[in-house]
Amino acid sequence: MPHRFGAIHRRRDNIIEPNGPSTDSLKNSTAKGYTDGFTTAKIFASYNTSRLGFVGQFIEDAIRVAGHALIAEGTEAGYSAGFLRGLKHGEDAVEGKR
């Protein structure tokens, strides 16, 4: 029984299972996503304070271009979350909110 409760606890706390991507891979993907999002916001904003339009498609394309060497399989959600956070922070920085 203790093993079962441990597995439930790990899943509930969103800890990556041994067969899945490592915690380091998820952190790397999230950090890469954040950096890409922040940079993208600054690039778009430099053109008449434009904003990125098709965010989901842009993220999917960025993941495909980066490949599994930079975004480990199973960590795409981390990349996406990091990208969206970085995009928001980049937009705020350009608008003088940060």
pTM of the model: 0.61
* CA–CA distance, 81 with 36 (Å, rounded to integer): 11
Distances (CA, A) of 52 to 36, 40, 55, 93: 12, 8, 6, 15
Structure tokens at 82: 């990091």
pLDDT, position 19:
65
The yes-or-no verdict on residue 9 having pLDDT over 60 is no
Is residue 12 within 8 A of residue 65, CB to CB? The reply is no
**11-68: pLDDT as tens digits:** 444 444 456 678 888 899 999 989 988 888 888 777 766 766 778 888 898 999 998 8
**62-93: pLDDT as tens digits:** 999 998 888 999 999 999 999 999 988 988 88
